[in-house]
Structure 1
């Protein structure tokens, strides 16, 4: 792929704007030698204004989503995409969230421009485990674990029971829940079906991938071996 197209696809501007970067000598190799629009070069060896080029396509990001942000491109208010460099919203192919966390849920969120990987993760056949920690309005009564594990729990207005889910009680009003589905507001609705209300909710893991100390609002690119952890079952107590 010619450099002008590569750089435009990464969101640095349209073809005309990127061509101007070349004309101004702002695209170079690590030694500072000017590169030209029709050159071909290794991605890691390209600099713009002396800075390394943004990651190539096939990108997978781990983000610590704060509350108050939505996983959308069109909603009013704060969007998770606002936490990324502005030009990343112009990448082609575009970055998309892998599933969604609602506005009031925080925690581990993946974004990628790899459509095949995205669908592999969210496919019901994959049974990828998602682990949430919930703070509840009332003490757990003790029967929730059996109910969630039963595979018979039916959420309101649905016709198919939930797959078995694992509950770990952390405190009288705190619990960790591992699910393998991604139904609408599933965790909140599960606790509602058990007679409780979720006050705060955080996703702490997908498979064996965790936030590992990543600060709220921060993000980083994942290596291939980290992405593979998504498909590994999390350890259960």
Structure 2
């Protein structure tokens, strides 16, 4: 791929803008040598304005999503993409969230521009577990763990029972819930079916990948070890 198209597809600017950047010497190799538009320098050795290029397509990142942000590129209000570099929003292939968290849910949220990886994570066949922590409006009844684990629980408006889920009681109004599927507002609807209401909800882990070292509102790129943890 020509250097101009490569950098433009990463979101650094239009092809015309990248051509201008190359003419001004803003695109170099790691030794500081100016690169021409037809350069065949390896991706990892290219600098744009003295900084390494963003990863090539196949990028996966983890965001610690705060409450109040919507998983969308077009909705009004604060969007999860506002927490990432502006250029990430216009990468080609597009950088998409892997699943969603509703506006009032915080925690682990993955992004990728790799469609194959995205579908592997969300596929029911992968059975990637997700752990949530919920703060409830009223004390737990005591039978929630058995109900959620039964494999017989039906949500209103659906005709297929939920897969068994594991509940860990933290205190009378707090619990951790491990899901093995991802239905619309599933955690909130499960507790609503028991007569309770979720006041606060956070996703702690996706598979074996947690938020260690990622502060709220911050993100980090994942390497192959991180990605393997999701399925491990």
- Give the TM-score, by structure 1 length: 0.96
Secondary structure (helix, strand or coil) at the match of 1:125 reads coil
The two structures, once aligned, show a CA RMSD in angstroms of 0.7
Secondary structure (helix, strand or coil) at the match of 2:40 reads coil
Structure 1 equivalent of residue 174 of structure 2: 174
Structure 1 equivalent of residue 43 of structure 2: 43
Looking at structure 2, the residues matched to 109 and 182 of structure 1 have their Cα atoms a distance apart, in angstroms, of 13
Structure 2 equivalent of residue 118 of structure 1: 118
Structure 2 equivalent of residue 100 of structure 1: 100
Looking at structure 2, the residues matched to 33 and 25 of structure 1 have their Cα atoms a distance apart, in angstroms, of 9
Secondary structure (helix, strand or coil) at the match of 1:102 reads coil
Q: Which runs of 4+ in 1 moved over 2 A?
A: none
Secondary structure (helix, strand or coil) at the match of 2:125 reads helix
Residue deviations 1:178-235 (CA, integer Å, cap 9, x gap): 0011100000000011111100000000111000031110000000111111112xxx
Structure 2 equivalent of residue 76 of structure 1: 76
Secondary structure (helix, strand or coil) at the match of 1:178 reads strand
Structure 2 equivalent of residue 136 of structure 1: 136
Looking at structure 1, the residues matched to 185 and 49 of structure 2 have their Cα atoms a distance apart, in angstroms, of 45
Report 1:30-69 matches (<5 A). Answer: 30-69=30-69
Residue deviations 1:2-47 (CA, integer Å, cap 9, x gap): 2111101101111111111111111111111100011111111111
Secondary structure (helix, strand or coil) at the match of 1:126 reads coil
Task: Give the stretch that moved more between structures: 85-94 or 99-108.
Answer: 85-94
Secondary structure (helix, strand or coil) at the match of 1:167 reads strand
Gaps of 5+ in 2: none
Gaps of 5+ in 1: 233-237
1:231 equivalenced with 2:228 (yes/no): no
1:9 equivalenced with 2:29 (yes/no): no
